[in-house]
Amino acid sequence: MTTANTVTVNDLEVFADRLDPKRAADIYKEHGALVVRGLMSPYIERIRQDIELAAKEALALYDKAVKTPEGWVTPDHTLWIPAPKGFSRDKQIMVLACGYKNSAAAFMSALDKKCLDIVEGILGADVELFMDGQCLYKEPVGGHAKNLHQDVAYFEHRYEGPVGVLNYCVDTDLNNGALHVIPGTHRLGVLDHIDTSSHLGLDEHEWPWERALPITGKAGDAIFFHVKTVHGSKSNFSKASRPVMIHRYRAANDYVVVTATSVDKRKASAAAMEQAKKENQQGFIVRGRRAFDVDRANAPA
């Protein structure tokens, strides 16, 4: 297996201004990760502005947060988790309600031609969006770590599963929560996850941070990662927020068969795996088309 011990960021890196989509897709297929410098630069300032406006809205709703199994949710659908010691509040933002439904810049960036050229090289001709854009928001001075994990623990698919594209919205380094990946782990299958402070994660004794390759970058850099690639990010110790905007794409015929945020939920969902259906799971087609499948009787209205 290829590991972070032998793979460097240089091996994963290409540049948007001289992009060869096939080479980029090949890097992704080999390592389960790809860094495209500057891919989202045309959009990132506007995305960042929309994110900070959404953060203000979420904070204004703080007193209306309702307890859920994952933490708390405010009426805007922002997810909060317990704050670290010494924080000014008892809850911190984890997943901020900013995505395609409330930010045109986020949505337009998901349709970027160069991005989709790479995704098509990975997934094939017919591609749909999975989810509505996801903003992981690390608050300043201690904002949450996302423990090493595979996304497949949260959303296992029938086929290849989604390609994640995590976009740095600010310059991101080791102090404010750079993404770490373990190249080659996309070939390992679904690993056993445990419940952690950031929901499903890998046992840190078996999967210490030292095994992972940190990817620092500028606002606008994009990191593509496979649904089975082990990845995560440490806390934000800087004085400013560290948001990312994640796009996810999947083949037009793919669909979720297991979905969970905790070990118990995953067990229950896995038990019902064979009942999972594509119905009600169609995302917007962003490349190619969706062939009508008479067996699924799942035509657009």
Q: List interacting residues with ligand AKG (CB under 6 A).
A: 136, 146, 151, 177, 179, 231-233, 244, 246
The CB-of-193 to ligand AKG minimum distance in angstroms stands at 12
Which of residues 84 and 288 has its CB atom nearest to ligand AKG in the complex? 84
Question: What per-residue string of b and e applies to 78-109 under the rule 16 or more CB within 10 Å gives b?
Answer: bbbbebeeeeeeebbbbbbbbbbebbebbbeb
Give the dihedral sign, CA 105/133/36/236: positive
Of 135, 225, 118, 143, give the one whose Cα is nearest residue 179: 225
Which of residues 96 and 127 has its CB atom nearest to ligand AKG in the complex? 96
Which of residues 21 and 100 has its CB atom nearest to ligand AKG in the complex? 100
The CB-of-146 to ligand AKG minimum distance in angstroms stands at 4
Which of residues 21 and 133 has its CB atom nearest to ligand AKG in the complex? 133
The CB-of-183 to ligand AKG minimum distance in angstroms stands at 15
3-state SS, residue 196: strand
User: Hey, how many other C-beta atoms are within 10 angstroms of the C-beta on 299?
Assistant: 10
Residues 202, 283: Cα–Cα separation, whole Å? 29
The CB-of-195 to ligand AKG minimum distance in angstroms stands at 16
The CB-of-295 to ligand AKG minimum distance in angstroms stands at 33
Residues 197, 149: Cα–Cα separation, whole Å? 12
Which of residues 116 and 153 has its CB atom nearest to ligand AKG in the complex? 153
